[in-house]
Structures are given as C-alpha cells and as structure tokens.
C-alpha cells in the first residue's frame, strides 16, 4: 500500500514537472517565433519598399499591407496575433510596429507575448566602410584594429622601449605629431611611435 501511494505521488509530481516544462518551453518557442517573424517581415517590407517605383513607394498603407502579409507568412503557431503599426512613413523608410501574440498554455490559461520593433531604412542601406589602423614600434606591429569611416582614433596603451621615453605618434612618412583625438579616419592609416 505504501509503495502504491509513493508511486501515485511520483506520477503526479512527474506530470506537474512535465506540464511546467511544456509551459516554459512553449512560451520560449512562441517568443522566438514572433521575434524572428517580426524582424524578418519588417526588414523584407522595407527592402521591398526600397525597390518599388517612387509613386508606389510613398504609399504608407501599401507598406503596412506588405508588412502584414509578410508577417503572417512567417508565423506558424495557432495563436491570435494583433499588429499595431505605431509609425509608418514610406517616404522616409521608417516603421515602428508592436505585435501582441495571444495564446493558451498547456493548462488552458491565456498568455500574451508583446514584441516591438522600430526600423529606419538607412540602417539597412548605408554600408559603412572600414579601414585598418596600424600602430608600429620600431617597424613592428604594436597594435592593429579596424575602424569605420569617420570614426575617432583610439590611442593604444603607451609603448615602452628600454632607455627611451615615448613622445607621440606620427603618420607613416611624416615627422609631425599626429593628435589622435583630432584625427578622423578616411583611409587605412599607419602610425609610428616616436621615442626620445
């Protein structure tokens, strides 16, 4: 009798653990699905907007309709989806959307997941050009990193050389001090250490 009661209690506990795990994993799956669907749909809608003719591309309602169609193609779960377009400006390529996903968990309780995404078209059209910044000490690479065009140079840790004191950095082939804080990057740059 004692073993039967233990067996029933273990079965109930196992069922509760399984129900909790299914509830948590179901929520995570739905969150991931709605975030992925929202990201993909909004990016594709803005990309399609960019490729359309100017007259067509200035139609906010058309862009919203494209977004809704693309979002529904991405979502596969059986849940209710509410889309709130907070901002849509086809001329500027701006879109701000909030999606609410309402579903029932394994215990029959209603749950909601809210996901919001704001996108400006320039984020996807403007490609930054990167340049290599190289710092040399005695002709050897001391530090090297990449920086986007127009970026602010960052000085590396002060180099050390036996019996000499570091003074400043100079551009390769020049003798005048390069003030890193005032220099913006427009091409690959090689800087050499000057010691005294």
Could you give the residue ranges of the DSSP H alpha helices within 107-174?
A: 122-125
Instruction: Give me the pLDDT at residue 126, please.
Output: 52
Contact partners, residue 35, CB within 8 Å, separation at least 6:
115
Cα distance between the two ends of the chain: 91
Mean pLDDT, consecutive 10-residue stretches, the chain (196 aa), reads 88 87 76 85 79 61 84 81 85 84 83 86 62 86 81 80 86 79 80 85
In the chain, DSSP finds a helix count (H) and a strand count (E) of 4, 7
pLDDT at 125: 46
- Are 191 and 168 in contact, with CB atoms under 8 Å apart? no
The pLDDT, as a whole number, for residue 163 is 86
Token pair recorded at residue 62: 């058309």
Domains located in the chain, CATH noted = 2-125 (no CATH), 130-195 (2.60.40.4270)
Q: Note the pLDDT of residue 127.
A: 63
pLDDT digits (tens, 9 = 90+) for 69-95: 888 887 877 788 898 988 888 777 788
DSSP 175: -
């Amino acid at each position: 009798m004692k073993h039967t009661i233990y067996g029933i209690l273990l079965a109930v506990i196992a069922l509760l653990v399984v129900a909790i795990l299914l509830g948590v994993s179901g929520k995570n799956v739905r969150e991931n699905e709605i975030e992925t669907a929202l990201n993909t749909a909004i990016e594709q809608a803005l990309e399609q907007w960019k490729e359309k003719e100017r007259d067509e591309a200035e139609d906010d309602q058309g862009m919203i309709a494209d977004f809704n169609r693309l979002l529904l193609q991405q979502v596969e779960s059986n849940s209710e989806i509410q889309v709130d377009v907070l901002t849509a400006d086809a001329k500027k390529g701006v879109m701000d959307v909030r999606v609410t996903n309402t579903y029932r968990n394994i215990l029959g309780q209603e749950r909601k997941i809210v996901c919001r995404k704001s996108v400006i078209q320039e984020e996807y059209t403007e490609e930054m050009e990167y340049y290599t910044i190289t710092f040399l000490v005695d002709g050897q690479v001391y530090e090297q990193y990449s920086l986007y065009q127009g970026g602010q140079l960052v000085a590396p840790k002060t180099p050390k050389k036996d019996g000499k004191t570091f003074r400043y950095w100079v551009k390769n082939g020049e003798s005048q001090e390069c003030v890193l804080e005032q220099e913006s990057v427009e091409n690959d740059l090689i800087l050499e250490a000057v010691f005294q």
